[in-house]
């Protein structure tokens, strides 16, 4: 299977080459030229497998220059019990007659990013070998909170790699920040960047497309790649957990084979919901995909009106991982729904750079609306939802999950849609104890760790050791850079002129 760029469909490479490259040189994103399909019988067979078997089944349909044995080996390593302690890697918990929570935060960094970022080091190092690349890969990451730590955890001390993460100064929860600044490993670097996530992401994208810098790196034996969802190797593993969720719903008798489900995803960079869209295109019976945003509701407006406009205030919210106004993966969706019209995508993305907005034509807008419902929840609604869900069901949501639950509740009330629904729960509530605890009616007192333990006591839950142990860890990275100086920061770290 070939992979093509959203900005030039004639640029064709293999899946392993797409993983090594991260971003296409033309600024576009790689995606498979054709979409594999799974029959209902195959989905039924997956239901009998464990998570590793299901993921191997899905990934081998996409990553065709890897054998199924190779993929099974990597997946077994990535999701082994010491990394994902619960018996089920991605459990599905019933919330009410229709709603079910897909818990994606049982990995080492307590966020859904672990599904891809525990696996990506295996895929990347194998991809380098397959393509005879002998360079040290330098992975650049922009994060609004979760990706950064997950990428650091995945790549720390992986031979042949170096990783550098930029997070927006003051734009993450304090626990998320500490997860990154205390990271151990000889090959890791972390910078706070002035500005917001979009500034950091733009800075990283600028470095990727800087030909002179690429040359200077090449001369020193370095090659750039990405661990953000612009890299196909990040998205593919996320498709698998939607298949797994369907299997879990089947096994629990909440649906029969062939019944459609809705999938609700809290998203900022549009990667996680795009993975759900891929699952649907592969044959997973899905009715509506519901895109949930926080107060940074650029996606809600886009899906509703067909105009994407990032010229608006940027808000820091209690769901920081979604504080994003430039949703990178939308480009892939537009490419797919427009029938691979690369020229049109180039034009739209140029408009986004030059004036911060673009409008899609009516046909494309209708296609988007046929697949995606949307909604947004500000912090007030988020806190209210955390409190109400806990009171009604005993289920404890983090702030991002609460955004999704609220948007789903409003969608269900407005449409009367009774389709069984899976809501992606993307992070542990203990990462955001400072917001979750007051939402349960408690007065927050003390530092982040006091809050974390107070939340544990209030809800009679055990907080993840990966978070409580941060209290005793040394902060290693304190440097702050201007977005315009990000390239210099990388060059200085690598000692490249």
- Residue numbers at the binding site for ligand LJ64HWYM (CB under 6 A): 143-148, 228-229, 268-269, 271, 321
Task: Report how far residue 105's alpha carbon sits from residue 429's, in angstroms, rounded to the nearest whole number.
Answer: 9
Task: Report how far residue 109's alpha carbon sits from residue 84's, in angstroms, rounded to the nearest whole number.
Answer: 10
113 has catalytic annotation: yes
Task: Report how far residue 89's alpha carbon sits from residue 392's, in angstroms, rounded to the nearest whole number.
Answer: 26
CB of 201 to ligand LJ64HWYM, least distance (A): 7
Do 151 and 227 meet the contact criterion of CB atoms below 8 Å apart? Answer: yes
CB of 196 to ligand LJ64HWYM, least distance (A): 11
CB of 53 to ligand LJ64HWYM, least distance (A): 26
Out of 113, 149, 205, 310, pick the active-site residue.
113
Query: Would you say 148 or 203 has its CB closer to ligand LJ64HWYM?
Result: 148
DSSP for 403-463?
HHHHHHHHHHHHH-----EEEEE-B-GGGGHHHHHHHTTPPP-SSHHHHHHHHHHHHT-PP
Query: Would you say 149 or 412 has its CB closer to ligand LJ64HWYM?
Result: 149
Do 243 and 54 meet the contact criterion of CB atoms below 8 Å apart? Answer: yes
Q: Please write down the HEC assignment for all residues of 66-80.
A: CCHHHHHHHHHHHCC
100: left (phi over 0), alpha (psi -120 to 50) or beta: beta
CB of 248 to ligand LJ64HWYM, least distance (A): 23
**C-alpha distances in angstroms, 207 versus 8, 124, 186, 203, 213?**
20, 20, 23, 6, 7
Query: Would you say 321 or 385 has its CB closer to ligand LJ64HWYM?
Result: 321
CB of 343 to ligand LJ64HWYM, least distance (A): 25
Task: Report how far residue 139's alpha carbon sits from residue 185's, in angstroms, rounded to the nearest whole number.
Answer: 14
Query: Would you say 239 or 255 has its CB closer to ligand LJ64HWYM?
Result: 239
CB of 83 to ligand LJ64HWYM, least distance (A): 19
Query: Would you say 196 or 229 has its CB closer to ligand LJ64HWYM?
Result: 229
Query: Would you say 60 or 296 has its CB closer to ligand LJ64HWYM?
Result: 296
Nearest to 151 by CA among 114, 190, 191: 114
Q: What share of the chain is helix, strand, coil (3-state, %, to 5)?
A: 50, 15, 35
258: left (phi over 0), alpha (psi -120 to 50) or beta: left
Query: Would you say 188 or 247 has its CB closer to ligand LJ64HWYM?
Result: 188
Nearest to 480 by CA among 226, 155, 145, 177: 177
Q: Are strands 188-193 and 161-168 parallel, antiparallel or unpaired?
A: parallel
**C-alpha distances in angstroms, 165 versus 23, 149, 236, 466?**
16, 8, 22, 19
CB of 204 to ligand LJ64HWYM, least distance (A): 10
Task: Report how far residue 452's alpha carbon sits from residue 41's, in angstroms, rounded to the nearest whole number.
Answer: 45
Residues catalogued as catalytic: 113
């Amino acid at each position: 299977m070939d992979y093509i760029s959203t900005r030039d469909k004639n640029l064709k490479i293999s899946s392993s080459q797409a993983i090594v490259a991260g971003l296409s040189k033309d600024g576009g994103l790689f995606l498979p030229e054709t979409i594999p399909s799974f029959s209902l019988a195959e989905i039924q067979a997956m239901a009998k497998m464990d998570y590793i078997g299901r993921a191997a089944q899905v990934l081998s349909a996409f990553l065709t220059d890897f054998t199924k044995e190779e993929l099974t080996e990597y997946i077994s390593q990535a999701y082994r019990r010491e990394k994902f302690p619960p018996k089920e890697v991605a459990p599905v918990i019933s919330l009410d007659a229709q709603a079910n929570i897909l818990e994606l935060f049982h990995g080492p960094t307590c966020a859904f990013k672990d599904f891809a970022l525990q696996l990506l080091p295996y895929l990347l190092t194998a991809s380098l070998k397959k393509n005879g690349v002998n360079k040290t890969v330098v992975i650049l990451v922009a994060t609004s909170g979760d990706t950064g730590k997950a990428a650091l955890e995945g790549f720390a001390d992986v031979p042949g790699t170096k990783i550098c993460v930029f997070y927006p100064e003051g734009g993450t929860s304090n626990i998320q920040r500490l997860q990154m600044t205390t990271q151990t490993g000889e090959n890791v670097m972390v910078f706070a960047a002035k500005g917001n996530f979009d500034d950091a992401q733009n800075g990283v994208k600028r470095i990727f497309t800087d030909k002179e810098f690429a040359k200077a790196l090449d001369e020193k034996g370095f090659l750039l790649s990405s661990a953000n969802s612009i890299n196909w190797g990040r998205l593919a593993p996320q498709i698998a957990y939607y298949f797994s969720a369907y299997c879990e719903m089947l096994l629990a008798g909440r649906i029969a084979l062939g019944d459609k489900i809705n999938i609700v995803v809290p998203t900022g960079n549009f990667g996680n919901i795009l993975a759900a869209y891929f699952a649907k295109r592969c044959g997973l019976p899905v009715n509506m995909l519901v895109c949930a945003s926080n107060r940074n509701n650029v996606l809600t407006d886009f899906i509703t009106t067909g105009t994407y406009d990032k010229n608006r205030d940027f808000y820091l919210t209690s769901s920081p991982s979604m504080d994003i106004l430039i949703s990178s993966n939308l480009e892939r969706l537009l490419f797919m729904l427009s029938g691979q019209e690369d020229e049109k995508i180039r034009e739209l993305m140029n408009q986004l750079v030059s004036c911060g907005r673009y409008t899609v034509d009516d046909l494309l807008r209708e296609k988007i609306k046929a697949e995606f419902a949307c909604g947004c929840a500000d912090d007030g609604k988020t806190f209210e939802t955390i409190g109400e869900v806990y009171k009604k069901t005993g289920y404890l949501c983090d702030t991002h999950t609460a955004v999704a639950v609220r948007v789903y509740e409003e969608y269900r009330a407005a449409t009367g849609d009774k389709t069984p629904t899976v809501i992606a729960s993307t992070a542990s509530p203990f990462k955001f104890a400072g917001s979750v605890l007051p939402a349960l009616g408690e007065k927050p007192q003390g530092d982040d760790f006091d809050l974390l333990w107070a939340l544990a006591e209030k809800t009679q839950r055990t907080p993840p050791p990966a978070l409580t142990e941060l209290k005793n860890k040394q902060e290693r990275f304190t440097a702050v850079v201007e977005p315009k100086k990000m390239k210099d920061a990388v060059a200085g770290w690598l000692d490249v002129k």
